[in-house]
Amino acid sequence: MNVEIVFLTKEHNQSHPKGFAEEALVTGCTRNARVTAKGACQVLQLDRETFLELVFKPLVSDVTLDETPTLILGDKEKLVKNQYAQLVAIAHKITRQKAEIKKASQDLQSTLEATAQLQREIDAVRTTITDGIGNFDSLESELRGTR
């Protein structure tokens, strides 16, 4: 007898899917029913023998003692790969920020150099004006003295 069982997976509770028609698989009785999924679901079709084997056979017995370190290392490897990917992303971000800081520093240096050049030009103009006023005062004094 081939009976279909449907596991409806709730969106926010994927670790505990809801089953439908499992009673017919356990008891072997015929059961007619219909189910409509409101969202995404997976349909798994199992015969009675496979269903009972999955329900009653402990999952732990499928993993031998020799396989356990490999499974644990596999999980740790995934964790290390994830952490490595995060570190690479951080390193790229730091590299970009260093480039931005270097550019900002160069821009600031250029601004400081331009400011210093402007100050030298202002000082030169001020000196020219001051010298001119001093020369004007002495010229005026000379002109007054000769009159």
> Bigger pLDDT: 102 or 19?
102
Q: Sketch the domain layout of the chain as residue ranges.
A: 5-57, 63-147
User: CA 87 from chain center: how many Å?
Assistant: 11
Instruction: List, for residues 130-143, the tens digit of each pLDDT value.
Output: 887 777 777 777 77
pTM: 0.39
Sheet of strand 5-8: strand arrangement: 18-20, 5-8, 42-44
pLDDT at residue 54 tops 70: yes
Residue 7 DSSP label? E
What is the model's pLDDT at position 99?
96
User: CA 58 from chain center: how many Å?
Assistant: 39
What is the model's pLDDT at position 44?
67
Instruction: List, for residues 57-101, the tens digit of each pLDDT value.
Output: 766 556 666 666 666 677 778 888 889 999 999 999 999 999 999
pLDDT at residue 45 tops 80: no
